[in-house]
């Protein structure tokens, strides 16, 4: 693949969108051709799936939830991510396969091996060149989200978030080119850690 695939991961409200925008600007300043996208969603079809999966008042059972995420991913990967990478772009994606392992695997107790198999099918085997995993203390979930709308997954309780947190830590350890970032720090400190990792992974000189 000619381009580079950077994924931002971590629980709700940990700062992915904030850092994704800053990352986009840094890469543009370095003259890179960049695409910023997100999961679930990223294309017209996948955004419709996103609406279903995140709608607070819908009854979505764990296995249906898993397949909705994977359906969104299959569409998004084929329609948008792979063509951009083939065209040599840097693709920044908010959430990808690790989120499904953390939420539906650790959070919902669905078999991780099965999720990994579905991830491989949905991504056609595509794996990120760099995964940045932002983890913050749980107290910030409330503090940073005070005025935010809560989607269906954000309405889960603290024990769900604790299982996911453990999940992200374990998943980061076993994922190639994945780094844990302390998201309790201030926005600019985190941004400079991200830039350091871009150098380390030779995404910028
Ligand atoms: N390091 C930080 N310190 C303090 N506040 C932050 C930090 N990073 C982000 N925020 C604030 O926290 C809130 C959530 O951040 P953001 O939307 O970037 O998180 P997210 O991970 O994209 O959330 P979601 O999972 O809901 O998409 C925003 O109001 C943002 O301004
Ligand atoms: Mg976001």
Instruction: List the single range of 80-89, 98-107, 150-159, 179-188 with lowest mean pLDDT.
Output: 150-159
46-55, 86-95, 140-149, 187-196: which range is least confident on average?
140-149
Q: Is 80 exceeded by the pLDDT of residue 148?
A: no
Residue 181: HSE in the Cβ half-sphere, 13 Å Cα cutoff: 31
Phi/psi region, residue 15 (left: phi>0; alpha: psi -120 to 50; beta: rest), is: left
Query: Considering only CA atoms, which residue is closest to atom 5 of ligand 1?
Result: 144
pLDDT in tens, 5-36: 999 999 999 999 999 999 999 999 999 999 99
17 lines ligand 1 (CB under 6 A): yes
Look at residue 9 and tell me if it is in a domain.
Answer: yes
Query: Would 32 be classed as within a structural domain?
Result: yes
pLDDT for residue 199 is more than 90:
yes
Residue 144 Cα to ligand 1 midpoint, Å, equals: 6
User: For position 142, what pLDDT does the model report?
Assistant: 83
> Which has more pLDDT, 149 or 44?
44
Question: Residue of the nearest CA to atom 4 in ligand 1?
Answer: 186
Total structural domains within the chain: 1
In a domain, 123, yes or no: yes
Q: What is the CATH number of the domain that holds 17?
A: 3.40.50.300
Which residue range forms the structural domain that includes residue 122? 4-200
- State how far the Cα of 181 lies from the Cα of 106, in Å rounded to an integer: 20
- Residue 205 placed within a domain: no
124 within some domain? yes
Radius of gyration of the chain (CA): 16
Look at residue 149 in the predicted model and tell me its pLDDT: 82
For residue 202, the surrounding DSSP H or E stretch is none
């Amino acid at each position: 693949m000619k381009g580079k695939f950077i994924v931002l991961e971590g629980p709700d409200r940990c700062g992915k969108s904030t850092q994704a925008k800053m990352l986009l600007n840094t890469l543009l300043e370095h003259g890179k051709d960049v695409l910023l996208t997100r999961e679930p969603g990223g294309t017209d079809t996948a955004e419709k799936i996103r609406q279903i999966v995140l709608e607070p008042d819908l009854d979505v059972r764990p296995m249906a939830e898993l397949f909705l995420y994977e359906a969104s991913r299959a569409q998004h990967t084929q329609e948008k991510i792979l063509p951009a990478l083939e065209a040599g772009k840097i693709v920044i994606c908010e959430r990808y396969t690790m989120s499904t392992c953390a939420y539906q695997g650790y959070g919902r107790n669905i078999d991780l091996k099965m999720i990994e198999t579905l991830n491989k099918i949905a991504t056609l085997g595509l794996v990120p060149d760099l995964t940045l995993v932002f983890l913050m203390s749980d107290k910030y979930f409330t503090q940073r989200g005070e005025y935010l709308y809560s989607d269906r997954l954000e309405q889960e309780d603290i024990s769900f978030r604790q299982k996911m947190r453990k999940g992200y830590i374990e998943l980061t350890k076993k994922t190639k080119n994945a780094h844990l970032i302390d998201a309790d720090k201030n926005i600019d400190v985190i941004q400079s850690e991200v830039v350091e990792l871009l150098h380390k992974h030779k995404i910028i000189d």
